């Protein structure tokens, strides 16, 4: 079949090679232009037009690396395979739609594409466009489902192939492939599982397309939940939570960053940590131990304590937690900043939005695990 693909770096690695391997004619690949990879951000974080200077966090932004930037970029694959590459900028223009019509695609494949595709484009392929969304729809519609699944403690996630419509991830479901979310799963580990599941889902759906057996099942709108993009403020640690919840949420964006906390108006991010479920006689957020040669730091949680072995420091540096605390003269008995204090420090109060969440049992349509 003549296929046009809308995708992004990382997800391209899971779908473009398999399309060629099974013999489909990829007539064009559309994506954002390739960005230069960076290990850390500059010494000032840009927060919607507001500069938060390095003085706030120490030496720069609490950001390490996006491993998706190490994976295949659609632009590179297209060049290597002599396939048309189309810049996603101008997606809503008439010239873009005209370019799509000239390609005469039979079906459109959308996987990991970060922008909404207008009706003037998704209506071009004869069989329409099929979106491969990284969740078990109708749960976790919208952005970064894998991070929210970890954050909320979901046991299963998956990939859903559905009809692309004007509604956000709302089209009829063609196929689903489920994956288990491990107890200590982090964002990139789960994202890697989903990319593999997307390959299986793609093959199953295209086989149905070719055989004329592709049929969709309407989603249950009463079970839908919608996610906003996962930002750094979502990773701010609430020390009143149980230690296991703090450790889990700290992995929701790892290794971009971990759980974010502050002491004496300086921010840090967890890097290596563990939850210790034992009784603690201290207020949540209290530093329990710093001195000695243990190599770690304990902080009291709502239940139990969090043990931190390594920290991510501003500017992308990773250091031993105990040495950092000793150097910063952080002593046992000191209190960590509350989420409200960190929000005020970083200017995040007005940017945080209430998410609409309607958790439902994980229900898989036409899928295999």
- Say yes or no: 98 and 242 in one domain: no
Residue 367 maps to a domain:
no
Instruction: Tell me the two tokens of residue 10.
Output: 């990382």
My answer on whether omega of the bond before 191 falls inside 30° of 0, hence cis, is no
- Say yes or no: 73 and 221 in one domain: yes
- Say yes or no: 79 and 188 in one domain: yes
Q: Is 109 left (phi over 0), alpha (psi -120 to 50) or beta?
A: beta
For residue 98, give the H/E element and its range: helix 94-103
Residue 206 sits in which domain range?
2-227
Residue 361 maps to a domain:
no
CA distance 138 to 146: 14
Residue 186 maps to a domain:
yes
Measuring CA to CA, how many Å separate 246 from each of 155, 235, 257, 331?
Answer: 17, 9, 14, 21
The enclosing domain of 49 has a CATH number of 3.40.50.170
Residue 365 maps to a domain:
no
Residue 359 maps to a domain:
no
Which of the listed residues 227, 261, 283 is the one where a domain comes to its end? 227
- Say yes or no: 199 and 58 in one domain: yes
- Say yes or no: 242 and 182 in one domain: no
Residue 363 maps to a domain:
no
Residue 355 maps to a domain:
no
Nearest Cα neighbor of 347 from 229, 232, 228 is 232
- Say yes or no: 217 and 77 in one domain: yes
Q: What is the pTM of this model?
A: 0.88
The enclosing domain of 311 has a CATH number of 3.40.50.12230
User: What spatial distance separates the first Cα and last Cα of the chain, rounded to whole Å?
Assistant: 27
The pLDDT assigned to 57 comes to 39
Which of the listed residues 176, 192, 227 is the one where a domain comes to its end? 227
- Say yes or no: 50 and 135 in one domain: yes
Nearest Cα neighbor of 162 from 191, 136, 199 is 136
The pLDDT assigned to 36 comes to 59
Count of structural domains, the chain: 2
- Say yes or no: 110 and 9 in one domain: yes
Query: What is the mean pLDDT of each successive set of 10 residues along the chain, which is 369 residues long?
Result: 96 94 96 67 34 38 87 95 95 95 97 94 96 97 96 97 95 98 96 96 95 94 94 95 98 96 95 95 94 86 97 91 94 96 87 50 47
- Say yes or no: 85 and 158 in one domain: yes
Which of the listed residues 227, 259, 284 is the one where a domain comes to its end? 227
The pLDDT assigned to 244 comes to 97
CA distance 60 to 35: 21
- Say yes or no: 145 and 256 in one domain: no
Length of the chain (residues): 369
- Say yes or no: 208 and 309 in one domain: no
Residue 46 maps to a domain:
yes
- Say yes or no: 175 and 240 in one domain: no
């Amino acid at each position: 079949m003549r296929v046009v693909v809308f995708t992004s770096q990382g997800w391209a690695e899971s779908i473009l090679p398999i399309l060629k391997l099974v013999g489909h004619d990829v007539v064009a690949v559309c994506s954002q232009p390739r960005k230069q990879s960076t290990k850390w951000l500059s010494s000032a974080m840009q927060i919607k037009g507001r500069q938060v200077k390095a003085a706030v966090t120490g030496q720069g932004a609490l950001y390490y690396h996006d491993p998706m930037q190490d994976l295949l970029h659609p632009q590179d694959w297209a060049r290597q395979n002599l396939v048309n590459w189309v810049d996603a900028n101008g997606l809503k223009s008439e010239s873009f739609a005209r370019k799509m019509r000239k390609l005469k695609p039979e079906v459109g494949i959308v996987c990991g594409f970060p922008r909404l595709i207008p009706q003037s484009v998704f209506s071009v392929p004869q069989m329409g466009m099929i979106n491969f969304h990284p969740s078990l729809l109708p749960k976790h519609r919208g952005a970064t489902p894998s991070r929210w699944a970890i954050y909320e403690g979901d046991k299963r996630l998956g990939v859903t192939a559905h009809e692309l419509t004007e509604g956000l991830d709302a089209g009829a479901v063609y196929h689903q492939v489920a994956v288990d979310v491990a107890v200590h799963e982090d964002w990139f580990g789960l994202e890697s599982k989903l990319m593999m599941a997307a390959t299986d889902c793609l093959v199953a759906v295209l086989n149905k397309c070719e055989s004329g057996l592709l049929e969709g099942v309407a989603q249950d709108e009463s079970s839908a939940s919608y996610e906003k993009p996962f930002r750094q403020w979502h990773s701010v640690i609430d020390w009143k939570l149980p230690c296991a919840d703090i450790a889990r949420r700290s992995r929701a964006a790892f290794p971009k960053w971990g759980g974010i906390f502050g002491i004496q108006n300086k921010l840090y991010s967890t890097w290596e940590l563990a939850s210790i479920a034992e009784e603690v006689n201290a207020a949540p957020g209290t530093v329990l131990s710093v001195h000695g040669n243990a190599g770690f730091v304990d902080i009291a949680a709502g239940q139990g304590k969090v043990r931190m072995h390594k920290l991510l420091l501003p500017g992308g540096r990773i250091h031993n937690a105990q040495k950092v605390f000793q150097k910063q003269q952080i002593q046992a008995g000191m209190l960590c900043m509350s989420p409200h204090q960190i929000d005020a420090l970083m200017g995040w109060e007005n940017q945080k939005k209430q998410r609409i969440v309607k958790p439902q049992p994980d229900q898989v349509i036409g899928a295999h695990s």
